[in-house]
């Protein structure tokens, strides 16, 4: 008798069974679903572990201390002097971290430095404000600094008389934040960028490191307060401290990679070299010389003009000579004073432009005559200014200005 049953060649699909209007899932289907969820969970866990190992646990070279490598934090490293110091440090094999809020610095300078030194672990830039103690502490906790070069500061005498609280906050308070983070994270070397403005208007020239400090403007006063904090702290620690009081900075990188490019709104308060170049380029109708009745040989202020390349060299030598538990204080200048009128004539020759000059009343907070005695820094750090030809320093800076009419924007064709 033939069987009426039949053999299934294909398994019956899973389906729900309806009993009295209620659906009951097929147990086989449920077990399959649970298995898929478990597999997905396992795969997700594996992916997370792989990602953690490959990326989340990545150790930045800037967070490590390496034998033979000195890691320097350069505050204000996007600025005029700070960027030149960074260039020199990188050329000498240092590892550098720049911290700058770009209020006066230029991201264009940072990009040039990154292009010159693209190797991993050489240079990093961190956008931050030194007034933010939490952010500064985080930076110190995530990076293994060996030393700090503290340049970051507003630095215009005239502006300081208009906005004194801004200067005390930016210079004095921010230096305190840096010191606190250095102490908390055991960073024991500080090279501090100070100024001859802390001396005020001494009765006797040239200025030595023992000259009494009696600043006459908020810029100089704020810097002296910062110095006092550093010196007081150094008495209770084994920190290596170098304080460099430098004079009027001019010039730029001799190879034309970096220059000075202050924000346009600060042209009125900027350095005399910048004002000369603006007048030579026609950006300003002329040069304003403030004060012609000082007790000097031609009635204008006398200053000691130091080339930025020499200034940076002094900082590097100070870093090399810094010793734990010791403090070094040095004037950084040429030892020769030049009047503002002499400077203007040198600028005319350097640019080849007959710059129009307007003579105006004195600027508040200025002093008649300031120039250094560089004997101490020569004897102790073996440093001497080499770029002392005023016209030549201005010519180097002028070449950069002509080639970068928009500052660190698009370079123009280099002119002779």
Q: What is the DSSP letter of 91?
A: H
Angle, CA 244 vertex, CA 243 and CA 248 arms, to 5°: 150
The CA distance from 372 to 231, in Å, is: 22
Catalytic residue among 219, 330, 387, 408: 219
Task: Tell me the angle at which helices 174-184 and 133-142 cross, rounded to the nearest 10 degrees.
Answer: 30
Report the Cα 289 to chain-centroid distance in Å.
30
* CA pseudo-torsion sign 329, 335, 341, 342: negative
CA distances from 266 to 166, 186, 275, 410 (A): 15, 37, 10, 21
- What residues contact residue 123 under an 8 Å CB cut-off, 6+ apart? 86, 90, 95, 96, 97, 98, 113, 114, 117
58 is catalytic: no
Dihedral pair phi/psi, residue 414, rounded to 5°: -60, 125
CB 208 within 8 A of CB 259: no
- How many helices and strands in the chain, by DSSP H and E? 13, 15
The CA distance from 295 to 146, in Å, is: 46
Burial of 329 (0-12, 13-18, 19+ CB in 10 A): middle
The CA distance from 99 to 79, in Å, is: 10
The CA distance from 282 to 169, in Å, is: 35
The CA distance from 327 to 234, in Å, is: 8
Radius of gyration of the chain (CA): 31
Dihedral pair phi/psi, residue 230, rounded to 5°: -60, -45
Could you list the active site residues? 219
């Amino acid at each position: 008798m033939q069987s009426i049953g039949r053999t299934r060649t294909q398994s019956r699909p899973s389906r729900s069974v309806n009993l009295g209007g209620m659906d009951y899932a097929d147990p086989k289907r449920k077990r399959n679903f649970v298995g898929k969820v478990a597999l997905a969970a396992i795969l997700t866990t594996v992916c997370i572990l792989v990602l953690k190992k490959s990326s989340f646990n990545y150790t930045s070279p800037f967070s490590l201390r390496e034998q033979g490598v000195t890691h320097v934090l350069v505050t204000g490293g996007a600025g005029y002097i700070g960027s030149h110091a960074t260039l020199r440090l990188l050329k000498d094999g240092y590892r550098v971290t720049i911290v700058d809020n770009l209020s006066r610095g230029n991201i264009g300078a940072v990009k040039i430095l990154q292009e010159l030194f693209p190797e991993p672990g050489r240079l990093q830039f961190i956008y931050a404000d030194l007034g933010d103690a939490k952010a500064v502490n985080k930076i110190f906790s995530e990076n293994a600094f060996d030393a700090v070069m503290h340049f970051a500061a507003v630095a215009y005498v005239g502006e300081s008389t208009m906005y004194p609280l801004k200067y005390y906050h930016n210079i004095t308070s921010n230096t305190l934040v840096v010191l606190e983070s250095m102490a908390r994270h055991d960073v024991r070397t500080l090279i501090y960028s100070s100024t001859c403005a802390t001396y005020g208007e001494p009765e006797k020239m040239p200025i030595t490191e023992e000259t009494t400090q009696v600043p006459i403007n908020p810029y100089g006063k704020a810097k002296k307060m910062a110095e006092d904090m550093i010196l007081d702290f150094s008495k209770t620690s084994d920190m290596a401290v170098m304080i460099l009081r430098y004079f009027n900075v001019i010039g730029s990188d001799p190879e034309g990679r970096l220059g000075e490019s202050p924000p346009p709104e600060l042209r009125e308060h900027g350095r005399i070299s910048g004002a000369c170049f603006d007048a030579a380029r026609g950006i300003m109708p002329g040069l304003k010389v403030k004060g012609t009745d000082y007790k000097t040989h031609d009635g204008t202020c006398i200053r000691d003009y130091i080339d930025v390349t020499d200034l940076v060299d002094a900082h590097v030598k100070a870093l090399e000579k810094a010793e734990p538990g010791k403090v070094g204080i040095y004037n950084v200048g040429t030892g020769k004073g030049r009047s503002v009128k002499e400077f203007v004539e040198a600028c005319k020759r350097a640019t080849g432009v007959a710059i129009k000059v307007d003579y105006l009343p004195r600027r508040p907070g200025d002093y008649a005559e300031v120039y250094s005695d560089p004997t101490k820094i020569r004897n102790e750090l073996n440093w001497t200014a080499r770029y002392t030809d005023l016209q030549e320093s201005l010519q180097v800076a002028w070449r950069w200005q002509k080639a970068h009419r928009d500052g660190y924007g698009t370079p123009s064709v280099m002119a002779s």
